[in-house]
Structure 1
Amino acid sequence: MLPTTELALLRRLAGEQADSRAPSLIAAVVRGDEVLWTGARGRVDGERPTPDTQYRIGSITKTFVAVLVMRLRDEGRLDLNDPLDKHLPGTNLGHLTIAQLLAHTGGLTSESPGAWWERAEGGDWAALQNSLTDGVLRHRAGARFHYSNVGYGVLGELVARLRGMSWFEALRAEVLLPLGLTRTTPQPQAPHALGWAVHPYADVLLNEPTPDSGAMAPAGQLWSTVNDLARWTRLLAGDTGEVLHPDTVAEMREPAHVDDADAWTSGYGLGLQAFRDSGRRLSGHGGSMPGFLASVVADPRTTTGALALTNSTSGVPVMVLAFDLLKLVDEYEPALPAEWLPMDGADPDLLALTGPWFWGPVPYALHLLPDGWLNLRPTSGAGRASRFRPEADGTWTGLDGYYAGETLRVSRNPDGTPNHLDLATFIFARSPYDPAAPIPGGVDDQGWRGGR
């Protein structure tokens, strides 16, 4: 990056490390498939931390578990609307759906009963299951967002049951090795940082414990590095490396619930936090365990992401730092739009679908996208717009916006020319209220006329 950009980023990092009294702090910025910048302050074992130094990443672990669950969904092994009992019977929360557990909307208690799980040695699944008795449900399922670490302990066991191996063995085989994340592990491996609590009124440190969380490990056990998390940030932005389809990651990013409904700035999707910051839609996750704080955040629109890791229990706003690093990069070196290139070719039948279509009197335009996809949007720029993916039966399925999941069908004249579009009972004709199209309710036989 330009020296001025690197200086601005380092200044922000250095100021945060000094002001927050972080024993060590390391951060990075990525864009596309490149790590644009890394910076570090403080010491680990007397040396500056490097992009290969491990830190505990806390709840960023949940994003890895969510990817495993979505892989099972994409394989047809489960449906997100399935009740937990269908795949993991015998709990007191079997009526909750897998989607509700992923999105923290099941009303499940936030922490596992007993000793504070983040600082206590964890038991096995049987112990966790037996502890989830009366009172484990705090809210009506689906009523609100209520963050639940327990829910991800349950999802980890769900993965283990369906894969026939531990959740981490599945993660290593299906995700970590294919992406080259060789330094993401359930236990620390040198070089790694020690976790510290910083005294509130003196510049002294207290070492924090890092026990094995047992059945609660899927909620926050993993350790990782800047190098590995840079690749993970790319996945969150859409560069999935065939671990997931990019559409599945986009689905995970969509908020299922928001924290502040009036003008939301933060919410939660399927295992991913969603943010709105300075006009950008961002996705990622924060992490916190005794002695450690972590953040990853990505802007899918520009493929720019940022991450930060520190070995301090509290007081270091790593998510705010990641947001600020993104802002600095956007200000100093904004991402250029992708270069426009023409298609290799287009099916004449698809080209014939393009152009103006009218829902009643409202003009829309249908655009042809690569691979036979379609984009239908109002010509005014405001209103219901969606992209559509072609299906084997000659229909298209909506991917986003109002028509997500709905079916688009093309009705043709005897000569094969398109007559109208049928989209979830909405009829789009080539002219406003075209009497040749099956407009619901019919068209006044007097046609368009002046006066009242």
Structure 2
Amino acid sequence: MTTSQEELLPGTRRALLHRIAIAQAEGRAPSLVAAVVRDGRALWHGARTSVDGHAPDENVQYRIGSITKTFTAVLVLRLRDEGVLDLGDPLEKHLPGTGAGEATIADLLAHTSGLAAESPAPWWERTPGTLRPELADVLGKQPFVHPVGRRFHYSNPGYTMLGALVEKLRGAAWEDVLRREVLEPLGLNRTSAQPQAPHAGGWAVHPWADVMLPEPAEDLGRMAPAGQLWSTTADLARFAVFLAKGDDRVLSAETVREMRTPAAAVEAADVASGYTYCLGMEMSHRNGRTLVGHSGSLPGFLACLRLSVADDVAAVVLANCTSGPLLADVAGDLVGIVAEAEPRIPEAWRPVTEVDASALELAGQWYWGTHAFALRLTAGEGVSLEPLSGNGRRSRFRSNGDGTWTGLEGYYAGELLRAVPRPDGTVDHLDLGSFVFTRQPYDETASVPGGVDPEGWRGIR
């Protein structure tokens, strides 16, 4: 991927540089690097450093911590798409004897498994993985702290279980499977389980003095699928494009869309912060914008990837300090700077090349009781149903190829939309999950549940 500084306006580039400069200075980070992605490629790269004349570029590795979980989730969803497993399967079905087998694969992906947040002491992020050679060492004697499937509770051991699942079903080490199935196809040649020069060193910055202490860079062993990886802003920019658009060599656009869909019940604190967990990805809201991605931290490093699908803008921010700048805020702001200063220019409207005559007959105004809706044909082979006023239920629908459509979002996700004919072949009404939509409010010529008063519409008598 080539990066170009010329495709963003000078004022936008300065605003981006200003934001990361504030983050590095106020966060007291030894170095901070960032990239912004739009239209499927990196448009901007920036760096700030405490060492004069030694600014890292987009090919310098930093440790990315829990962004590793998103990579692990991709491997699991590949297995699902191949039919090797189902997300509703209990872990025990494919990886017996762990002690955590009653949790489903979906629970593990969404952090609703009920497993503990961390492995038993000593602190796994600052100690060698050789201290935890077996899955039992990662889980401990009492792995569950909540009932399975009841609540969101972030679990690092849960992703260790997913990594072990990948190894069992692929018959190879997690690292090798990841390289073969994800890193190489996507061209992520500077993403690796072990640091490769040039790479940043991890530092702890004293909270009350401008001095630093080097942090150890441990091999996490069994915990690797939860946080082992090293990467660069250039590689993570490519990964952000994949998370937005998919790549059929790895996962389809439909599956990465599924990854970006909320999958965990949120706690009250999460509702207040606008945070939701999906399948290996986080969802947050900032300044009216929905962002997905993941953050990460390990001693000596902070990382964040944020993507706004609606704006087609993503940002990656990496720093080599244990604590410091709030990279989720920085990444969200970088996305916002570009999206607001240089809004996405929509594709030119073009008429469709082919039209389904039967679907075209259904286009237009329909009524659910007295609520007015519009049915529109959309690009591709779908339709959309939306209220003509207010904030009622709306959804896009995918054609099933047999004259029916399946809902893709909101209240109607997964529900079937079909046209119900009269004996003469004309359309009587639309049926949407048993809801009847008619051409006129309570159309007396249509099959309306409960019937229509024979005296019809009238005023006050």
Q: Distance in 1 between matches of 2:169 and 2:451?
A: 53
Q: Tell me what 2:407 maps to.
A: 398
Which runs of 5 or more residues in structure 1 are unaligned? Answer: none
Q: How many Å apart are 1:415 and its aligned residue?
A: 4.8
Q: Which moves more between the two structures, 352-361 or 129-138?
A: 129-138
State percent identity of aligned pairs: 56
Q: Which amino acid aligns with 2:253?
A: P
Query: Which of 155, 174, 186 does residue 148 from structure 1 map onto?
Result: 155
Matched position secondary structure for 1:146: coil
Contact 2:277 2:283 in 1 (8 A): yes
Q: Distance in 1 between matches of 2:137 and 2:435?
A: 51
- Quickly say closer, same or farther: Cα 1:437–1:93, change in 2 above 3 A: farther
Q: How many Å apart are 1:369 and its aligned residue?
A: 1.2
Q: Distance in 1 between matches of 2:283 and 2:330?
A: 16
Listed one character per residue, the Cα deviations across residues 282-322 of structure 1 (whole Å, up to 9, x for unaligned) are 10110101111000000000110111011111112111111
Query: Which of 251, 258, 271 does residue 266 from structure 2 map onto?
Result: 258
Q: Tell me what 1:74 maps to.
A: 81
Q: Distance in 2 between matches of 1:362 and 1:74?
A: 39
Which runs of 5 or more residues in structure 2 are unaligned? Answer: 1-7
Contact 1:257 1:269 in 2 (8 A): no
| 1:53 and 2:53 aligned | no
Q: Which amino acid aligns with 1:302?
A: D
| 1:316 and 2:325 aligned | yes
Contact 2:444 2:452 in 1 (8 A): yes
Q: What stretches of structure 1 move > 6 A for 4+ residues in a row?
A: none
Matched position secondary structure for 2:316: strand
Q: Distance in 1 between matches of 2:90 and 2:77?
A: 15
Q: How many Å apart are 1:430 and its aligned residue?
A: 1.8
| 1:291 and 2:300 aligned | yes
C-alpha RMSD of matched pairs (Å): 2.1
Q: Which amino acid aligns with 2:436?
A: I
Q: Distance in 2 between matches of 1:252 and 1:67?
A: 8
Q: How many Å apart are 1:175 and its aligned residue?
A: 1.6
Q: Distance in 2 between matches of 1:242 and 1:117?
A: 34
Within 5 Å, which residues of 2 pair with 1:101-140? 101-123=108-130, 127-140=134-147
- Quickly say closer, same or farther: Cα 1:95–1:273, change in 2 above 3 A: same
- Quickly say closer, same or farther: Cα 1:214–1:252, change in 2 above 3 A: same
Contact 1:128 1:215 in 2 (8 A): yes
Q: Distance in 2 between matches of 1:239 and 1:142?
A: 28
Q: How many Å apart are 1:187 and its aligned residue?
A: 0.5
Matched position secondary structure for 1:36: strand
Q: Tell me what 2:243 maps to.
A: 236
| 1:226 and 2:226 aligned | no
Q: Tell me what 1:339 maps to.
A: 348
Q: Distance in 2 between matches of 1:170 and 1:419?
A: 54
- Quickly say closer, same or farther: Cα 1:2–1:45, change in 2 above 3 A: closer
Q: Distance in 1 between matches of 2:430 and 2:180?
A: 45
Q: Tell me what 2:376 maps to.
A: 367
Q: Which moves more between the two structures, 364-373 or 219-228?
A: 364-373
Q: Which amino acid aligns with 2:450?
A: G
Question: Normalising by structure 1, what TM-score?
Answer: 0.94
Q: Which amino acid aligns with 1:94?
A: G
Listed one character per residue, the Cα deviations across residues 373-419 of structure 1 (whole Å, up to 9, x for unaligned) are 11111111421111111124442211101010111222223454332
- Quickly say closer, same or farther: Cα 1:268–1:354, change in 2 above 3 A: same
Question: Normalising by structure 2, what TM-score?
Answer: 0.93
Q: Distance in 2 between matches of 1:242 and 1:333?
A: 32
- Quickly say closer, same or farther: Cα 1:131–1:254, change in 2 above 3 A: closer
Contact 2:385 2:394 in 1 (8 A): yes
Matched position secondary structure for 2:217: coil
Within 5 Å, which residues of 2 pair with 1:159-170? 159-170=166-177
Q: Distance in 2 between matches of 1:80 and 1:68?
A: 13
Query: Which of 437, 444, 454 does residue 445 from structure 1 map onto?
Result: 454
Q: Which amino acid aligns with 2:210?
A: D
How many residues get paired?
Answer: 452
| 1:427 and 2:457 aligned | no
- Quickly say closer, same or farther: Cα 1:242–1:421, change in 2 above 3 A: farther
